[in-house]
Amino acid sequence: MNDLQWKKPVGTTLSRTPSALACDAHPTRFGGTGQARPLRAKGRRHQRGGFASGALAAAVLLAGCTDGPDDRAHTLAQRYLVVDTHIDAPYRLYREAADLGISVPAREFDFPRAREGGLDVAFMSIFTPARSADAGESRRLADELIDLVEGLAEKHPGKFRIVTCTEDVAQLRGSGRVALALGMENASPLEGTLQNLDHFVARGIRYVSLAHSKSNRYADSSYDLNERWDGLSELGKETVPELNRRGVMIDISHLSDKAAWQVLELSKAPVIASHSSLRHFIPGFHRNMSDDMVKAVADGGGVVQINFGSGFVSDDAREWAMRRDAAMLAHFLGLEPDAEARRGFREAYAAEHPYPFATVDTVLDHIDRAVALAGIDHVGLGSDFDGVGDTLPIGLKDVGDFPNLVAGMLERGYDEDAIAKILGLNLMRVWRDAERYAAGQGFASRCYQSATMLRRRPESG
Ligand SMILES: [Zn+2]
C-alpha cells in the first residue's frame, strides 16, 4: 500500500469549533475535512496564545482564517495515522478492572481520549514481570492479558478491533474505531519452546521485547547488572530468526547493550525499540538508546519509538527518582518495605520534594535528536502510557494529548509529511517489512480483523 494512503477521514465523535469550520484548508483524501478543537486545559500549549511566527500569522490572516497552530495540530492528529507502540493498559486492567470503552480518567488510555487524541493503532503491551516467570506463571499471565484485550474488543466492537496485520489497519481506516495490536514485553511466556511462540503468534503478538527488568532465558536486561549471557543466550540467538520467520518485529527496548547489538546483527528484518528515548540526555541510563544504537536501528531500516516518561527524557527527573530511592533505603535501614509502606514513603517524599515533570518540549528534544541521528524515516512514538506511574510530562498525560506533540513539531518546523512519518507511517513501514520478510519465508501473516469483519458482528458499544 502507498504510504500516503494511510491518511484517513476524521471520526464522527467530535464536534467542530466554529473557527475550524471557517478555516479548514486541508480536505482529506477521502473527501472529509480535518477537525480542529482547542487543546485541553491541562496541555501547556493551551495557555499559549497567538501564532508561532509572524509569517504564519500573516499567511493565515490572508486566507481569512482564524485557526491557530493548536487547531491545526488537532486537525493533523485526526488526519494522519497515529500509532503508539507501547501502552500498558492490559496489565493495569489485570490489576484493577475498568471499562476502557468509556471515560476512565484514572487511566491514560480509554476510547474517548484515544479518539480525541487521534490515536489509531494502540499496541497493547502484553507485559509479564520477571517474578511471574520465577513463579512459572508468565505464560498463563500473558494469555490472561490477551483475554482482557479481546474482551475489550468484544464488548465494544464499534469502538475497538484487534488487528494482527497491516492490512487489518488499512481496513479499519476511517471507521472511527481504535485498532488494538499486541506486543509482548518480556519473552518469558514463550518458555523456550517454538510451540509457545506459535501459540502467541496465533493469538496476535506482533512484536516481542526479549527481556524486561531482569535477564531471562533469552537475553540480558539493561536494568540487570548480572549480565549472565553477555548479551543473548543461545536460545535468544536461535529465537531471533524464528521471530523474523513469523513476521514478528523484534523489540530491543529493555535489552542490555550487548543483547541489543546482537539482535541488530542477527535480525533479517528491521528492528524496533518500542519505547525507548535517548541516552544522550540521561548519560549512563542504559535503558535508553545510545546514539550509535539509534543509527544502527536506522541503518537496518528500523524505528526508534520515543518513550514519553519524564524518567526517560529528563535527567532532572531521573536524578530525583534516584535521590528518593536513596532516601527510602536510608529510611527503611536498607530493608525492603512492603507495598503500603513504600507507597506512603513515596507520597510523603513527593509532597516535600515536588517532582520535576518534563514537558512536551523535553520529549520533542528527543525526537529532534533522533531525527538528526537516524533520519526522518526512523523515529516514532512509544508513549509507555499506563506504564510509568505519575511521571508523564506536562502536556502529555494521556492518549488525548498527541495533538500537543503535533503542535510542538509544527512549531519546530516539521512539515506535514515528516509529522505523518513520526506519528505512524514509519512504524507501519517496519511492520510491513516484517510481514514481507515472513512472506518470503512462506509464512503468511494471519489477519484477525478481516476474519472478524466477515463474521458481521452486531455493531454496538
Ligand atoms: Zn517497558
CATH number at residue 272: 3.20.20.140
The total domain count for the chain is 2
CA of 240 to the centre of ligand 1 (A): 19
Q: Which of 40-54, 319-333, 348-362, 393-407 has the lowest mean pLDDT?
A: 40-54
In the 8-state DSSP scheme, what is residue 202? Answer: H
Domain co-membership, 278 together with 211 = yes
**Cα–Cα distance for residue pair 300/394, rounded to 1 Å:** 34
In percent, how much of the chain has pLDDT > 90?
78
CA of 183 to the centre of ligand 1 (A): 11
Over residues 249-276, the mean pLDDT reads 98
Domain assignment present for residue 232? The answer is yes
**Cα–Cα distance for residue pair 265/263, rounded to 1 Å:** 5
**Cα–Cα distance for residue pair 93/107, rounded to 1 Å:** 10
Confidence band, pLDDT 50/70/90 cuts, at residue 68: low
The pTM (predicted TM-score) of the whole model is 0.85
- Per-residue cell: 113: 481520549
Contacts of 293 (CB under 8 A, 6+ apart): 252, 257, 260, 261, 264, 273
CA of 83 to the centre of ligand 1 (A): 17
Helix, strand, coil % over all residues of the chain, rounded to 5: 50, 10, 40
Domain assignment present for residue 439? The answer is yes
**Cα–Cα distance for residue pair 103/55, rounded to 1 Å:** 39
Domain co-membership, 66 together with 109 = no
* CA 265-266-267 angle, 5° bins: 105
Domain co-membership, 66 together with 95 = no
CA of 119 to the centre of ligand 1 (A): 20
Mean pLDDT, the chain, whole residue set: 86
Tell me the per-residue pLDDT of 334-361, one tens digit each, with 9 for 90 and over: 888 899 999 999 999 999 999 999 999 9
CA of 35 to the centre of ligand 1 (A): 33
The pLDDT assigned to 70 comes to: 83
Domain assignment present for residue 10? The answer is no
CA of 405 to the centre of ligand 1 (A): 21
Confidence band, pLDDT 50/70/90 cuts, at residue 449: low
Q: Provide the residue range defining the domain that includes 21.
A: 16-39+52-77
* In contact, 239 and 424? CB cutoff 8 Å: no
**Cα–Cα distance for residue pair 435/168, rounded to 1 Å:** 13
* In contact, 392 and 385? CB cutoff 8 Å: yes
Domain co-membership, 204 together with 301 = yes
Confidence band, pLDDT 50/70/90 cuts, at residue 18: very low
CA of 36 to the centre of ligand 1 (A): 33
**Cα–Cα distance for residue pair 399/117, rounded to 1 Å:** 6
The pLDDT assigned to 450 comes to: 52
CA of 52 to the centre of ligand 1 (A): 35
Domain assignment present for residue 4? The answer is no
Query: Nearest Cα to 373, choosing from 319, 294, 282?
Result: 294
Domain co-membership, 290 together with 401 = yes
Domain co-membership, 148 together with 30 = no
Domain assignment present for residue 345? The answer is no
Question: Helix, strand or coil for residue 166?
Answer: helix
**Cα–Cα distance for residue pair 81/125, rounded to 1 Å:** 19
Query: Nearest Cα to 251, choosing from 301, 208, 307?
Result: 208
The pLDDT assigned to 266 comes to: 98
CA of 86 to the centre of ligand 1 (A): 8
CA of 408 to the centre of ligand 1 (A): 25
CA of 25 to the centre of ligand 1 (A): 40
Domain co-membership, 66 together with 151 = no
CA of 361 to the centre of ligand 1 (A): 22
Tell me the per-residue pLDDT of 116-165, one tens digit each, with 9 for 90 and over: 999 999 999 999 999 998 889 999 999 999 999 999 999 999 999 999 99
Domain assignment present for residue 391? The answer is yes
CA of 9 to the centre of ligand 1 (A): 32
In percent, how much of the chain has pLDDT > 70?
82
User: For residue 196, how far is the Cα from the chain centroid?
Assistant: 25
Structure-derived torsion over alpha carbons of residues 58, 64, 66, 67, reported in degrees to the nearest 10: -80
Q: Which residue has the cell 513469523?
A: 246
CA of 212 to the centre of ligand 1 (A): 7
CA of 185 to the centre of ligand 1 (A): 7
The count of other CB atoms within 10 Å of the CB of residue 356 is: 15
Domain co-membership, 86 together with 64 = no
Q: E strand or H helix at 21, and its extent?
A: helix 18-22
Domain co-membership, 65 together with 166 = no
Domain co-membership, 371 together with 253 = yes
CA of 219 to the centre of ligand 1 (A): 15
CA of 333 to the centre of ligand 1 (A): 29
Contacts of 161 (CB under 8 A, 6+ apart): 153, 168, 172, 175, 177, 178, 179, 180, 449, 452
Q: Which residue has the cell 495515522?
A: 81
Domain assignment present for residue 252? The answer is yes
Domain assignment present for residue 5? The answer is no
* In contact, 122 and 419? CB cutoff 8 Å: no
CA of 129 to the centre of ligand 1 (A): 10
Domain co-membership, 65 together with 89 = no
Domain co-membership, 403 together with 307 = yes
